[in-house]
């Protein structure tokens, strides 16, 4: 029988960086980091992260589905909010 360590899942640290898989992926690739956000709240009710998620998602779809020029620049701007969100883009 495996003994429980008493630590929650959030306390367990992984040796692999969260960004390592995206760094290994081919371009284009995008990573939106939501500072201080939980797992589901920024996609449902947590402000100001929810607003960032909405704008970044719309800009992404406008670029890739509607082929609107300038949408990736708007996505970068929407995902760069000091203290709230950082976006990494490798086009």
Q: Residue 17 — very low, low, confident or very high, per pLDDT cuts 50/70/90? A: low
Q: What's this model's pTM, rounded to 2 decimal places?
A: 0.75
Q: What is the pLDDT of residues 29-86, one digit of tens each?
A: 898 999 999 889 999 999 999 999 999 999 999 999 999 999 999 999 999 999 999 9
Q: In this structure, are residues 22 and 90 in contact, taking their beta carbons and an 8 Å threshold?
A: no
Q: Closest Cα partner for 63 from 82, 86, 84, 89?
A: 89
Residue 19 per-residue DSSP state: T
Give the orientation angle of helix 71-78 with respect to helix 49-64, to 10 degrees.
170
pLDDT of residue 9: 43
Question: How much is the pLDDT for 21?
Answer: 73
At 84, give phi and psi (nearest 5°).
-125, -50
């Amino acid at each position: 029988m495996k003994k429980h360590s008493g630590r929650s899942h959030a306390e367990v640290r992984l040796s692999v960086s969260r960004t390592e898989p995206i760094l290994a992926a081919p371009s284009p690739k995008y990573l939106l980091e939501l500072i201080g956000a939980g797992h589901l709240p920024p996609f449902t009710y947590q402000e100001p992260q929810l607003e960032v998620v909405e704008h970044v998602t719309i800009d992404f779809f406008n670029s890739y589905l509607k082929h609107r020029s300038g949408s990736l620049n708007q996505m970068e701007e929407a995902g760069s909010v000091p203290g709230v969100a950082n976006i990494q883009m490798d086009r």
